[in-house]
Structure 1
Amino acid sequence: MSTANDMAEMPVQLPREPANAAEARSRYFNSGNAFNIKLPAVPGHIFMDEPAEAMKMEKTGFINCDQSQKMECGFAATTPLMLARYCVVKAGETLDTTLVNTASIWYVIKGSSSLVVGDEKATLGRGDVFLLPGGVTSEITAKDDCVLWAVGNDPQLKFDTSAPVTGKEAAVQFVHYPADEITHQLDVVYSSNANASTSGHALIFSAEKTEAARNITPTMTLSLNTLKPKSAQPPHKHNSAAITLVVAGDPAYSLVAEEKCDWSPWATLVTPAAAKHSHHNDGNTRAEFLIVQDGGLYYHARTMGFEFY
């Protein structure tokens, strides 16, 4: 009497006698061995060496916040679907910022520069935010030494080998959010009271093409979150991953899955999807931090899962 093998132990099944190349490419799994792949966890981490290297401003180029080896990912990635990077542009030099993604969200940490995006131009200064469409020729030319921070969905396109759509059908256009306008809009937010259902005073960035979804791109969200002196954002979780740039806060820290992550100037904090986390400002001045999430995906799928503890 023969004993059947456990389905979970079976190898991939190949077609018996394929009649052509298309049939030969088929593969078959079962309900036991198709769902037992264990992927490495997304590390919660705070990048401090990368901003320190960027602030030395030694040479023009990109410095990735890369966790691909820990995630066993075949391409540069900070989280499975997003890549954060610091960008240095030396005075008088030009950096090609044409990237293979749907979009990238940028923040100017230091310096002034000119930006060319297709046939559009802008002058950039400290504290500016801007949105670049992927696949569109763009470059930054520095007037003085510049440091910028950017997050794009490059890994998302690498994962399914997609190419950015450009032209009128593109989901994203170039958008510039000058620092003085950001300050004004945040003041407007602070003129209203937060309630128990909000996560404090935060400015949410959107764009003409994505106004209805209240996101900055179809898949990514951007917010400038704040904490008043001697205050904290309560513990919470959500199904999107978050990449956070420390803009101001001394002393301040985050708790990510019960691990304390002390803030340092311009550090990048990674909060894995569904991880319990909170943010704390122990200082006497307002803390500010930019948060990029792949939240647009989860809002669209109705699976954001935001929840306070």
Structure 2
Amino acid sequence: MSDMAEMPVQLPEHPTSGTEARGRYFNSGNAFNIKLPEVPCALFTEEAARALARTETALYPCDISATLDCPFPATTPLLLARYASVLAGAQLTVDFVATASIWYVIDGAGTVTCGGEEIRFGKGDVFLLPGLAAAVIGAEAAAVFWCVGNDPQLAFEASAPIPGARDGVAFVHFPAGEIAHQLDKVYAQEANDSTSGHALIFSAAQSEKSRNITPTMTLSLNTLKPHSFQPPHRHNSVALTLVIAGDPAHTEIDDVPWAWAPWATLLTPPTAKHSHHNNGDSRAEFLIVQDGGFYYHARTMGFQFL
């Protein structure tokens, strides 16, 4: 008798309809032995350099779908990071098939129009765009952005966001001045041993209860005082980190140091032991997007200091 783990997928023996014919059968031996590539550590610098060159109006995805064995662009199984450049006087239309996309303005100035509302953006601003929104980004001065959306999540599910009143995400603007003000308020308080340091967590009116910026994505502006470090920790979500300031600074992932580079994106795999280190004389700042909303909702975030 053969091992049931070696059995191939089983088809219906005598289907009498199309609905029956579409059925497939596995067993407790072969249903759970799927081998998927692990999420790797990665540092994306080339995409940032291309956007910062400001040679064209374009998107530059941090795509490692081949490494992840995903049939769609992806930086992690559920998130896609991009850089974007918009030349002065040009426009970029954004209509990602995603629940939402988070944008950070690395440089430049201009306007964003979405759903009949318009904002003026500048360096250091953050804004949130709902998916399928056909937002138009217009640059008055050549602009460069970092952007993260959950496109791979929806591609995996073969689904699309619900537009209109039932949409769980709205157009939100976080101006740089307000971000600095809110971070100053955080720094006016003492950090205790149960926190991961002085960080500003972004949320929105529609997701205030969950304290996430979207139902599944979390966004934080983390900081490190000069010559300090964040203790080693791990969590079940991945982390996409944009280096804003820190010289010299680095992240250790499973005891391997990854030196920061200006405006680089660092990918920290899920459950990996990691810590952040600022060896410079000024404050380090780094923006982190995680798929943490999934894990908070499922009660499986698993955050722990090591």
TM-score over 0.5 (shorter chain):
yes
Counterpart-to-counterpart distance in 1, 2:9 and 2:165:
44
Equivalent residue letter for 2:287: L
Per the alignment, residue 7 of structure 1 pairs with: 4
Corresponding residue number in structure 2 for 1:282: 279
2:250 corresponds to: 253
Paired residues for 1:61-80 under 5 Å: 61-80=58-77
Q: Does 1:233 align with 2:230?
A: yes
1:126 aligned partner: 123
User: Displacement, 1:224?
Assistant: 0.2
**Matched residues in 2 for 1:289 and 1:201: separation?**
12
Within 5 Å, which residues of 2 pair with 1:13-32?
13-32=10-29
1:298 and 2:298 matched: no
Report how far residue 53 of structure 1 moved.
Answer: 1.2
Q: Name the SS for the 1:111 alignment partner.
A: strand
Q: CA–CA distance in 1 between the matches of 2:162 and 2:110?
A: 27
Structure 2 match to 1:56: 53
Counterpart of 2:289, as a letter, is: V
Q: Deviations over 1:161-186 (max 9, x none)?
A: 01111111000000000000000000
Contact 1:135 1:165 in 2 (8 A): no
* 1:298 positional shift: 0.3
- SS in structure 2 opposite 1:27? coil
The question of 1:42 aligning with 2:39 is answered: yes
The number of residues matched between the two structures is: 306
| Counterpart position of 1:148 | 145
Unaligned regions of 5+ residues in structure 2, if any? none
Q: 2:183 aligns with which of 183, 186, 198?
A: 186
Length-normalised TM-score, structure 1? 0.98
Cα deviations across residues 108-138 of structure 1 (Å, max 9, x unaligned)? 0010011100100000000000000001120
> 2:219 aligned to 210, 218, 222, which one?
222
Q: Structure 1 counterpart of 2:266, which letter?
A: L
Rounded to whole Å, the distance in 1 between the matches of 2:207 and 2:18 is 43
SS in 1 for 2:280: coil
The match for 2:93 is: 96
Please give the alpha-carbon distance, in whole angstroms, between the structure 1 residues aligned to 2:43 and 2:110: 28
Give distance in 2, aligned partners of 1:136 and 1:76: 20
Gaps of 5+ in 1: none
2:186 aligned counterpart, secondary structure: helix
RMSD: 0.6
Q: CA deviation at 1:85?
A: 0.1
- The residue number in structure 1 matching 2:200 is 203
Provide the secondary structure at the position in 1 that maps to 2:206: helix
Q: Distance in 1 between matches of 2:54 and 2:254?
A: 33
Equivalent residues of 2:94, 2:133 under 8 A apart: no
Structure 1: distance between partners of 2:18 and 2:255:
52
Task: Supply the distance in 2 between the matched residues of 1:142 and 1:256 (Cα, whole angstroms).
Answer: 37
* Partner amino acid, structure 2, of 1:217: T
What is the percent sequence identity of the aligned residues? Answer: 61
CA–CA distance in structure 2, aligned partners of residues 258 and 5 of structure 1: 43
Letter in 2 for 1:145: A
SS at match of 2:181: helix
Q: What's the TM-score, normalizing by structure 2?
A: 0.99
Aligned AA for 1:287? A
Deviation at 1:209, TM superposition (A): 0.5
Distance 1:121 1:100 in 2: 21
Determine the C-alpha separation between the residues in 1 that align with 2:210 and 2:17: 46
Equivalent residue for 2:107? 110
